[in-house]
Amino acid sequence: AGVARAQELKGPVPVPAGKSLQKGERTQVAYDKLMQIKALPSYSEPDWVKALVDQGKLPPVKDRLPAKPIVVDTSSVEGTGVYGGVIRHVSGARPQGWNWMAGNILAWGGVEEIESQCLVRLAPVWMLTPEKSEPLPQLATHWEWSDDGHALTMHLLEGAKWSDGQPFGADDVMFLWNDNMGDLNVPAWGRPEAFGAGTTLEKVDDNTIRWHFKEKNPATTLYQMGFQKLCPGPAHILKPLHPKYNKSATYQSYINALKPENTPVVSMGPWTVTEYKPDQLMVMRRNPYFYEVDEKGNQLPYLDEVQYKLSTWEDRTVQTVAGSADYANMEDPSIYLESLRQAKNPDFPDKIIWGARALDWSVLLNYSTNCGVQNDRDKAIRNLNRTLDFRRIITQGMDREAIGQSLVRGPFITPFPGGLHLESDFGQPDMAVYYPYDLAGAKAALAKLGFKDTDGDGIVNWPKTAMSGPLAGQNLQINLLYTTLYTTDSNVAQSVVSMMRDLGVSILLQPNSTELENTIGTCQWDWMVRRIDHDAQAPLLYLDRIAPLAANNPEWHHGTAQENQNLLPFEKQLVDIIGQIRTEVDPAKRNALLRDYDKVATENVYQVGLVAVPAAILINKRFHNVPPGTPVLAYGWGEDASMRERFWVAKQDQGKVSELAPKTLPGVK
Ligand code: BQZ
Ligand code: CA
């Protein structure tokens, strides 16, 4: 209703369509073929690992594997691999520590997807055939709903072990749920409220857990049980360090309990970090207890080592193009043209797999009225951010075509109206309400809101009314937080400054060179440039991040431990739509509801979307089993969507890159 108010402004128009860059075949495999849970007659491992077994340094492979391992299909790619070889990654982030249950950042770039394994696996869902496109097994192998639709029983990988040989089981999951997610002093990635009000988790036995839901058939809950929410860490190590169980521990000591230099990291993943050199590199070696095998019983992974060079995100693309690294999500538009020019060279080292426009850059406006409000200035800015007419003005003051062309010329970038991604499984061009660039209208509407340049310096001044608080009469100046870890974020922030200046709004840049998550958690920011990517591409996995279901989300509207968010009327509508999605068993109806969500979110300019950008996977040609058509971002990032544990390198190519820690295993001396 309120949406029609800003009469000065042009009304919605269709979003300009983009040309698709995707081409080539796309892997398709049936759910029950991709992964099976079953015992095989015999198991194999690399010869040098077998030698360690023979020397008595490690139990035999069949005793290291679960009773029924996850048998992964290789026939839908190139087939059975050979052991050996290395993949070299680059990350622009740095590990904060290894306590992922307590929200530590491990280094991104696919590190978390190796170290933290979750109840279900989502990233490879993109390759499933449509008859059964659902979360895949990971630490939970199978599950069943009760007849009344209120309970979900999950069976865990029986007999699976952590990389230090200690048993994995229900206690690990219970510790995550009760003492991390359920403890507001721990900045966990997920909160119990996001699983529906009143949801509880019960340990049935060491290998079985049972969820109890107040709602009937919350089918989409399974999508919340994967990366990065339901990924237990080793309770046998962390429980004794948690303040609830250790009187001399504090929350701070618990959160930082596993320092980056504490290696080897204890993990359930295919490899684990065995060496860390700050600002230089991390080495990961194969985990001898990893729970997957191929159809022939060869324990995975095929590659013995993963290296992470610690550099910048842009350098990831540059090094992969140059052949000194092996994998990049090419996501920095300013170097697309140069990379594509080099790709014409016959010696170009990589395959290029283009994906959908799955990345976006947006400006988030802080809506929080209790979190991080330190004074009356903050209060006035938050209230302004919460005013729809103001958000319309800001969004229509953004020239998205110009921002896109300034990042990279050509057909790559399209305007992004905010909300969810149009190029996604559920997306349709007309689902978004898109308010076009209209500088004159935006200026007029700003004046009508009472903001006029009373002192002739080109910046509008706050009206002398109660809404302005201590800012009455001052220039309208807003702080804009952005990360300097990505060049694109810096470039976008610069564009926002100049466009807002044309509108008469002064922007004070707040560059941040650590992880934005830290500042987001404090709520001490006005506006922020943000790449939202996965939440908008695969919202089913992140329902808790796109509307205020719990106090810790969305990033731009937090509550506090004491007080929930003050929801705007349209946010209540969004929460309501998400409630319907949670219990909708029909995927087609779920998609329709996601489109309803998008309409409400964009009509109300929930965030100021700017540009939608396609990305490409660059991967060195020496790897086999890279699934054709792997998306950079769908149900997870390309690193996990491509299933690295199945990658292999032919013997004659293995010498091209040497291992840094040959023939070593984490924790085995
Ligand atoms: C991909 C990804 C894998 C996080 C991160 C980073 C964080 C966000 C996001 C991407 C990086 C890479 O993205 O840019 O290509 O390798 O790691 O985890 O942007 O700042 O908070 O959500 O995934
Ligand atoms: Ca002024």
Q: 80-110 pLDDT, tens per residue?
A: 999 999 999 999 999 999 999 999 999 999 9
Identify which ligand lies nearest to the alpha carbon of 501.
Answer: 2
**Nearest Cα residue to atom 15 of ligand 1:** 329
Nearest partner of 414 among 425, 426, 400, 424, judged by Cα: 400
Name the band, by pLDDT with cuts 50, 70 and 90, for residue 561. confident
* Complete edge-to-edge strand list for the sheet that includes strand 616-620: 327-330, 616-620, 350-354
Q: How far is the CA of 639 from the centre of ligand 1 (A)?
A: 11
Look at residue 418 and give its three-state secondary structure.
Answer: coil
Where is 396: in which H helix or E strand? helix 388-396
Q: How far is the CA of 614 from the centre of ligand 1 (A)?
A: 15
Q: Could you identify the atom of ligand 1 that is nearest to the CA of residue 111?
A: 18
Give pLDDT tens digits for 302-311.
999 999 999 9
Q: Could you identify the atom of ligand 1 that is nearest to the CA of residue 485?
A: 20
In this prediction, residue 7 carries a pLDDT of: 84
**Nearest Cα residue to atom 23 of ligand 1:** 108
Q: How far is the CA of 454 from the centre of ligand 2 (A)?
A: 6
* Structure-derived torsion over alpha carbons of residues 445, 450, 455, 456, reported in degrees to the nearest 10: 10
Q: Could you identify the atom of ligand 1 that is nearest to the CA of residue 483?
A: 20
What does the alpha-carbon distance between residue 486 and residue 505 come to, in Å, rounded to a whole number? Answer: 25
Is the model's pLDDT at 253 over the cut of 80? Answer: yes
What does the alpha-carbon distance between residue 313 and residue 310 come to, in Å, rounded to a whole number? Answer: 9
Between 329 and 562, the higher pLDDT residue: 329
Q: How far is the CA of 57 from the centre of ligand 1 (A)?
A: 37
What does the alpha-carbon distance between residue 167 and residue 23 come to, in Å, rounded to a whole number? Answer: 45
**Nearest Cα residue to atom 6 of ligand 1:** 108
For the domain bounded by 31-331+616-654, which CATH number is listed?
3.40.190.10
Is the model's pLDDT at 6 over the cut of 80? Answer: no
Mean pLDDT of 539-552: 94
Q: How far is the CA of 451 from the centre of ligand 2 (A)?
A: 9
Q: How far is the CA of 637 from the centre of ligand 1 (A)?
A: 8
Mean pLDDT of 229-244: 98
Domain ranges of the chain: 31-331+616-654, 367-613
Is the model's pLDDT at 333 over the cut of 60? Answer: yes
Identify which ligand lies nearest to the alpha carbon of 483.
Answer: 1
Instruction: Phi first, then psi: give them for residue 85, nearest 5 degrees.
Output: 90, 170
Give pLDDT tens digits for 144-200.
999 999 999 999 999 999 999 999 999 999 999 999 999 999 999 999 988 999 999
**Nearest Cα residue to atom 8 of ligand 1:** 108
Give pLDDT tens digits for 262-281.
999 999 999 999 999 999 99
In this prediction, residue 17 carries a pLDDT of: 86
Q: Could you identify the atom of ligand 1 that is nearest to the CA of residue 615?
A: 15
**Nearest Cα residue to atom 21 of ligand 1:** 517
Give pLDDT tens digits for 435-461.
999 999 999 999 999 999 999 999 999
Q: How far is the CA of 217 from the centre of ligand 2 (A)?
A: 56
Q: Could you identify the atom of ligand 1 that is nearest to the CA of residue 329?
A: 15
Percent of the chain with pLDDT over 90: 96
**Nearest Cα residue to atom 2 of ligand 1:** 109
Cis peptide bond upstream of 46, omega within 30: no
**Nearest Cα residue to atom 17 of ligand 1:** 109
Identify which ligand lies nearest to the alpha carbon of 328.
Answer: 1
Name the band, by pLDDT with cuts 50, 70 and 90, for residue 2. very low
Give pLDDT tens digits for 395-424.
999 999 999 999 999 999 999 999 999 999
Look at residue 453 and give its three-state secondary structure.
Answer: coil
Give pLDDT tens digits for 335-389.
999 999 999 999 999 999 999 999 999 999 999 999 999 999 999 999 999 999 9
Mean pLDDT of 311-317: 97
**Nearest Cα residue to atom 1 of ligand 1:** 109
Identify which ligand lies nearest to the alpha carbon of 477.
Answer: 2
Percent of the chain with pLDDT over 70: 99
Ligand 1 pocket (Cβ < 6 Å) reads 108-110, 112, 313, 329, 331, 531, 637, 639
Structure tokens belonging to residue 336? 């697309």
**Nearest Cα residue to atom 7 of ligand 1:** 108
Taking domain 367-613, whether its CATH number is 3.10.105.10 is answered by yes
Give pLDDT tens digits for 562-599.
999 999 999 999 999 999 999 999 999 999 999 999 99
Name the band, by pLDDT with cuts 50, 70 and 90, for residue 1. very low
Identify which ligand lies nearest to the alpha carbon of 504.
Answer: 2
Does the ipTM surpass 0.95? Answer: yes
The per-residue pLDDT of the chain, averaged, comes to 97
